[in-house]
Structure 1
Amino acid sequence: MNPWNTALREGLVAGSMASLLSTAALIAFGRRETGSMAAPLNAVSHWVHEPEALYVDEPSLRYTGVGYATHHAASILWATLYAAGRQLLTPGRPPSLAGAAATTAVAALVDFKMTPARFTPGFEHRLSHTALVGVYAALALGTYLGARAYRRLDAGHGRTPF
């Protein structure tokens, strides 16, 4: 199978897991630091609804829905790059937490140092630096666990469910 097809499939699984775990972290840190579980996700939608998305605390499809969809898509993108890099650089090697952490560190560098302000994650406006580390750690762990789950699915059935 084409390595990019495999990377895309793995990226969907790993990125979805990464999105779920990091969204849970965003919700927990948001509740603790802002009193709103939706505030960090709402802030992600600032690329569409700037600047008001950065200040909305209540959940809504307009802000929370767009924020979650954006965060989920970005998680899949980074997990796909992780999978592609692993397959192209070290074919056949199983996923590693160190590789997922390195990919997530690159994601944070790109998100906060190389991306125009309008396209940053947005939740950095609502959360502390400590919380950001927690969110990116959850993203790395989710990427790793999702990649492992994909490999188990692929190896156990000879194919994936999609």
Structure 2
Amino acid sequence: MQSDSFLMRALVSGTVSGLATSAVAALAGKRETASYAAPINATSHILWGDKAARHDDTSLKYTATGFLLNHLAAVMWAAVYERWATPAISRWAATLPLLAPLAPAMSGVAVAGGAYVTDYYLVPKRFTPGYEKRLSGQSLALIYGALALGLAAGALLENRGRE
């Protein structure tokens, strides 16, 4: 039952985070490239190469693949969040009750920071998210901020359902 609970929490947090990061990327894409799809398409460069990063129009090949890859990555980071943050949040509630309400967000920021370092400094260039091919550094910061908030929001939604 514990693994089911962990998997369900990771799926919820990852889905919220995936939707949040995709929405922020699409809005940034519209602002910076005049295309909602461009940054989502760029994510599919992992499978389709740099041609995907140059594609502006919505397409099943690039946009759907990019969205799915982003969603899978968000669920993976949510699993990291849930495995690491859930026990940490419980410890904070017990030892630092005044900071406990901030624990989900602070944990989300920590995991999103780890995701950024991993995505842009540890993995080969072919496996970066691809957003950097179409968006500014400011937009990347907003996307990782959306990841952090999505992780925290997903955790809070799950907690609300258990109360």
Over residues 30-78 of structure 1, what are the superposed CA-to-partner deviations in whole Å (9 max), with x where a residue is unaligned?
0000111000000000011002001000000100000000000100110
- 1:19 corresponds to: 18
* Kept in 2: contact 1:7–1:87 (CA 8 A): no
Cα deviation, 1:68-99, whole Å, max 9, x if unaligned, reads 00000100110111011123455475751000
Q: Which residue of 2 aligns with 1:104?
A: 112
1:110-121 mapped onto 2 (5 Å cutoff)? 110-121=118-129
With normalisation by structure 1, the TM-score equals: 0.89
Q: TM-score when scaled to structure 2? A: 0.89
Q: Which region of structure 1 is more displaced relative to structure 2, 86-95 or 117-126?
A: 86-95
**Aligned mates of 1:73, 1:109 — CA distance in 2:** 18
- The alignment status of 1:50 with 2:49, answered yes or no, reads yes
SS of aligned partner of 2:27: helix
Measure, in 2, the Cα distance between the counterparts of 1:73 and 1:127.
21
Quick one: distance in 1 between partners of 2:27 and 2:122?
27
Structure 2 unaligned blocks of 5 or more: 94-99
How many residues of Structure 1 are paired with residues of Structure 2 in the alignment? Answer: 154
- Structure with the bigger percentage of helix: 2
RMSD: 1.5
User: How far off its partner does 1:8 sit?
Assistant: 1.6
Deviates more, 1:47-56 or 1:94-103: 94-103
Aligned-partner residue type, residue 71 of structure 2: H
Q: Distance in 2 between matches of 1:25 and 1:42?
A: 14
* Structure 1 residue aligned with 2:28: 29
